[in-house]
Structure 1
Amino acid sequence: MLQIKRATLHDADSAFAIRREAIRSQCIGAYTAEQMALWTRGSASDGYDTLMEKRFYLGRVDGEPVATGMLDLGNNEVGALFVLPGYTGRGYGKAMLDHLENVARELAIEEVVLDSTLNAASFYRACGYVGDEQAIYRSPSGLVLACIPMTKQIYPLRPSPTKPGE
């Protein structure tokens, strides 16, 4: 079972390692070796650690950090959704995405957006995200990658109906 908690600055190195390993194993074929090398270079202290100040979450299995995800409230954007290669295919990415969407609902956010990597677009579509047009993502570090901007309507949580007389 995936245990999801808010990340702290102390989790930045683990989160960066999950990101690096996920990109290196899951983006083969979608991006060039050069793009992936640029994308995964450096360390958490090169700026990735500042993401821990946002609604950044770390998922653990038996105490081991295996998944990350973030909700950027400035843009209502889901991001940093990564799962360690040895833990893919077990529903941990979906569990993290569900968690982020629930956080968005609790904050009364009606729509979330994301820039999907080319290899992850089918995953997001299966989770209800819409978007087909390819675009260019430009990272703050200068990296340029093809992506697919996607959106999903997040409807507010509805209170459960009560029985008459309660």
Structure 2
Amino acid sequence: MNAQEIILRPAQPTDARDLSIIHIAAIKALPATFYSPEELLAWRNNRDRPDNGNIFKLIKADNFWVAVIDNVITGFASYIDDELIALYVHPQYQGRGIGRNLVEHFCDRAREQGIDRVMTTASLYAEGFYSRLGFTAIARAPHYLSKGIIVPVTKMSKKLVA
């Protein structure tokens, strides 16, 4: 699939259910390699079914963007200034450049604001993905999930070139 078929647009309140579906499906598809089943359940906010609006409250960010292919929302990213807060692609669409497009969009927007370095907090599953996109690991850190569950994540950064 080439980049021309992936359309990025700002998320709208009516997208909330689709974003929740993607969030839950992406986490459910992960094996219990780095995190236990209980930790993965907490990561998806103890949900097996999507909700219709809480995703915008749960993932606190100023900017939400969705990736659309053939009128289907396939992934989303959210960010605040220089920090990528969340990136999820539905498992059925992974490996098609959607995540890469969303990250590049985030970096482009940061660059337009005069930001020369961006950050993200990567799950242990996503470290390799971000490394391939030029991010460097800074440190392991705790990530606080619901019900007091704490999991290790990796803080990562990327220097943006003009």
Identity of aligned residues (%): 23
- Rounded to whole Å, the distance in 2 between the matches of 1:30 and 1:65 is 28
- Find the counterpart in structure 2 of residue 62 from structure 1: 70
Which has the greater radius of gyration? 1
1:48 aligns with 2:55: yes
- Rounded to whole Å, the distance in 2 between the matches of 1:81 and 1:53 is 12
Q: Report deviation, 1:27.
A: 5.1
Q: Secondary structure at the match of 1:100?
A: helix
Q: Report deviation, 1:25.
A: 0.7
Structure 1 counterpart of 2:79, which letter? L
**Contact 1:72–1:78, Cα closer than 8 Å, also in 2:** yes
Computed over aligned residues only, the root mean square deviation of the Cα atoms, in angstroms, reads: 2.1
Unmatched tracts of structure 1, length 5 or more: 157-166
Q: Secondary structure at the match of 2:16?
A: helix
Runs of 4+ in 1 over 6 A off after TM superposition: none
> Residue 30 of structure 1 is aligned with which of 34, 39, 53?
34
- Find the counterpart in structure 1 of residue 116 from structure 2: 110
- Rounded to whole Å, the distance in 1 between the matches of 2:147 and 2:108 is 30
Structure 2 counterpart of 1:21, which letter? A
Unmatched tracts of structure 2, length 5 or more: none
Structure 1 counterpart of 2:109, which letter? V
CA deviations 1:124-159 (Å, max 9, x no partner) are 011000115322112477442210000111234xxx
* Count of residue pairs the alignment pairs up: 154
CA deviations 1:11-56 (Å, max 9, x no partner) are 1121121111111113531211001112212454674223587211
The farther-off stretch of 61-70 and 28-37 is 28-37
| 1:101-140 aligned within 5 A | 101-131=107-137, 133-139=139-145
- Rounded to whole Å, the distance in 2 between the matches of 1:91 and 1:10 is 24
- Rounded to whole Å, the distance in 2 between the matches of 1:21 and 1:87 is 11
**Contact 2:61–2:78, Cα closer than 8 Å, also in 1:** no
- Find the counterpart in structure 1 of residue 11 from structure 2: 7
Task: Give the TM-score, by structure 1 length.
Answer: 0.83
1:64/1:121 CA distance change after superposition, 3 Å = same
1:94/1:19 CA distance change after superposition, 3 Å = same
Task: Give the TM-score, by structure 2 length.
Answer: 0.85
